[in-house]
């Protein structure tokens, strides 16, 4: 698999952002690495293929970003403030395609909204199911096996 961002750089980026948000955990790090690997080959594609709306290394759709700002962050001012401090962005915008810190913050908050506990960082199959259910969605084109294959490539790099 040809990837965009080098796996070591991706780990450092995600770790720095999660620590800046005070939302770091090994489970969150592993899930975000796997999500980026699966969704965009770690940045090989920053715009959804076939002209779809998804953007960035996590291929988040703008409607999800807007929903986070409208329906989650107003009730969590400390997280909202840390996102603004870390990224310099105080709302949704086109930077979803190119600002890696912002993309990472949005992806982490997307998963943070899920009441189910994150899978263990050692449970790649659990991460894959979690991603499929809560990120790609059951109706999405991605498969658990896609996540496992892509995440193993990056996590073992």
pLDDT at 13: 96
pLDDT of 110 strictly over 60: yes
Residue 41 backbone class (left: φ over 0; alpha: ψ -120 to 50; beta: rest): left
Provide the pLDDT confidence category of residue 2 given band limits of 50, 70 and 90: low
Q: What's the confidence (pLDDT) of residue 121?
A: 95
User: Between these two residues, 6 and 77, which has the higher pLDDT value?
Assistant: 77
Contact in structure between 101 and 87 (CB atoms under 8 Å) = yes
**pLDDT tens figures, 32-73:** 999 999 999 887 878 787 777 889 999 999 999 999 999 999
Q: CA nearest 4: which of 103, 92, 91?
A: 103
**Between 156 and 115, residue with greater pLDDT:** 115
Q: What is the pTM of this model?
A: 0.94
Phi, psi of 47 (to 5 degrees): -125, 140
Long-range contacts of 87-95 (CB under 8 A, 24+ apart): 92/62, 92/65, 92/66, 92/68
pLDDT one-digit tens code per residue, 114-155: 999 999 999 999 999 999 999 998 888 889 999 999 998 876
Confidence of residue 3 (pLDDT cuts 50, 70, 90): low
Give the model confidence (pLDDT) of 8-39 as tens digits. Answer: 999 999 999 999 999 999 999 999 999 999 99
Q: What is the pLDDT of residue 139?
A: 82
Fold category of 7-155 in CATH: Lysozyme (1.10.530)
Q: Name every residue whose Cβ is closer than 8 Å to that of residue 37 and which is 6 or more positions away in sequence.
A: 3, 147, 150, 151, 153, 154, 155
């Amino acid at each position: 698999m040809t990837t965009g961002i080098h796996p070591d750089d991706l780990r450092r980026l995600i770790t720095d952002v999660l620590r800046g948000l005070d939302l770091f955990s090994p489970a969150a790090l592993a899930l975000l690495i796997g999500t980026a690997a699966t969704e965009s080959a770690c940045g090989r594609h920053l715009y959804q293929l076939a002209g779809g709306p998804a953007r960035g290394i996590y291929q988040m759709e703008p409607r999800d970003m807007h929903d986070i700002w409208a329906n989650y962050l107003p009730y969590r001012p400390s997280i909202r403030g840390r996102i603004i401090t870390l990224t310099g962005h105080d709302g949704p915008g086109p930077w979803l395609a190119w600002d890696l810190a912002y993309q990472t913050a949005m992806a982490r908050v997307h998963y943070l909204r899920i009441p189910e506990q994150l899978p263990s960082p050692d449970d790649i199959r659990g991460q894959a199911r979690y991603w499929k259910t809560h990120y790609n969605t059951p109706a999405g084109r991605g498969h658990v096996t896609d996540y496992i294959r892509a995440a193993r490539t990056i996590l073992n790099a």
